[in-house]
Amino acid sequence: MTMDPHLLRTFVTVVRCGSFSEAARELGYTQSAVSQHIAALEADLGAALLRRRPVAPTGVGERLLEHAGPLLLRLDAARADIARLTTAPAARVVVGVAPLAMTHRLGAALAALRRQQPLVEVTVRALGREAVARDVATGGLDLGLFDGATAPHDPLHLADTGPLTTRAVTEQPLAVALPATHPLVGRAGLRLSDLADAQWIDAPDTAVPLAQLRAASETDGYRPALRYDGTDVHGLRTLVAAGHGLALLPRPAVGDVPGAGTAAAGLGVVAVPLSAPRLVHRIEVVHSSAVAGPAALLATALAADTRSKDPAGTPSRGPAEPPTEDAVEERGVRAG
């Protein structure tokens, strides 16, 4: 009667599987039970949620899905959070890293941690952005490194899954990755709005997602010429070099150009700095505010020059502190 989470869970499973029976198998129920679950939900809400044969959500069902996902996530997050409080912190850290959040600085911080506490078992897991956020909330990760494009000093926006603490790690300039043969290669800087009609590669987990560009520049456009689902920057660079489209990346990530100039040697990809709007690539570290043990150490090491602070203002999320400039990451990359 109160929109039982169980029912929601089977609902989303059914939609994902596109099948009652398959969902039943996955959830360890009988098909009968699943059918009854859906019937109960539909009776409770007074509307059809699924069209059967083929199984697909109705309009109302679509809407319920938008609620059900975050709701179940938050539920899992709550359980995981109190579990963290009750069980002692293990001598183990699992760090989830979004592709563009993998920096030298993280490497150094990890090295320091392992030097300081050699017995701690450290795992680094490369993940997509949402996966990082989700797994930190649900306890699969002790620490997450998360990135995105924002105005300077503005925090990133996470889905609200409970009392998480986020702190800034780095802000870096953004650059457009162009194939070396592109006519715009010579430019000193590019305005994003001039590129709205260009060919873009949609790499939501690797580059700055096109949705963020649309939001920032308040236009539609930035239509994806190709979608890249990997979590690996090199793969994306290769696609850019092959002329499949542009991508917006933190300038250091476009190419580890050792000499002067902006052309990445042999990669066929060139970085041209973003001149407008004033956006930066920001990396934040995120963890439960109930974190303890080595993960807490690592978090403060990453956000070294900033004060630690617990949630204030909004209860759900601590304010992100102003970022420290990351000398390591900026080294050797001055615009030409």
Q: Which residues bind DNA (CB under 7 A)?
A: 4, 6, 19-22, 28-33, 35-40, 52-53, 55
Q: State which amino acid sits at residue 99.
A: P
Q: Is the dihedral of CA 213, 129, 155, 233 positive or negative?
A: negative
State which residue, 59 or 186, has the beta carbon closest to a copy of itself. 59
Looking at the DSSP bridge assignments, the partners of residue 145 are: 97, 285
Considering only CA atoms, which of 165, 101, 102, 171 is closest in space to residue 136?
A: 165
Is 68 a residue that touches a copy of itself (CB under 8 A)?
yes
Smallest distance, Å, CB 10 to DNA?
Answer: 8
State which residue, 53 or 115, has the beta carbon closest to DNA. 53
8 A C-beta contact, residue 180 and residue 262: no
Considering only CA atoms, which of 221, 229, 177 is closest in space to residue 203?
A: 229
Per CB under 8 A, contacts with a copy of itself among 82-101 are 82-83, 85-86
Cβ-based neighbour number of residue 242 at 10 Å: 12
d(CA 30, CA 33): 5
65 binds, among a copy of itself, DNA, none (CB under 5 to 8 A by kind): none
32 binds, among a copy of itself, DNA, none (CB under 5 to 8 A by kind): DNA
Considering only CA atoms, which of 301, 326, 304 is closest in space to residue 120?
A: 301
Stretch that binds a copy of itself, among 206-214, 227-235, 240-248, 261-269 (CB under 8 A): 206-214
State which residue, 259 or 314, has the beta carbon closest to a copy of itself. 314
State which residue, 209 or 268, has the beta carbon closest to a copy of itself. 209
Taking phi over 0 as left and psi of -120 to 50 as alpha, with beta for the rest, 218 belongs to left
Q: What is the largest CA-CA distance in the chain?
A: 68
307 binds, among a copy of itself, DNA, none (CB under 5 to 8 A by kind): a copy of itself
Judged by CB under 8 A, the residue of 319, 324, 330, 335 near a copy of itself is 319
53 binds, among a copy of itself, DNA, none (CB under 5 to 8 A by kind): DNA
3 binds, among a copy of itself, DNA, none (CB under 5 to 8 A by kind): a copy of itself
Judged by CB under 8 A, the residue of 96, 99, 144, 162 near a copy of itself is 162
Cβ-based neighbour number of residue 276 at 10 Å: 12
For 2-29, what is the HEC assignment?
Answer: CCCHHHHHHHHHHHHHCCHHHHHHHHCC
Would you give the binding string for a copy of itself spanning residues 13-52, x where CB under 8 A is met?
--------------------------------xxx-----
Stretch that binds a copy of itself, among 94-102, 156-164, 187-195, 266-274 (CB under 8 A): 156-164
Q: State which amino acid sits at residue 116.
A: Q
Burial of 207-230, coded b for 16+ CB within 10 Å and e otherwise, reads bbbbebbeebbeeeebeeeeebee
Smallest distance, Å, CB 329 to a copy of itself?
Answer: 24
Residues near a copy of itself (CB under 8 A) are 2-6, 9, 45-47, 59-60, 63-64, 66-68, 70-71, 74-75, 77-79, 81-83, 85-86, 151, 154, 157, 159-160, 162-163, 209, 211-212, 214-215, 218, 290, 307, 312-316, 319, 321-322
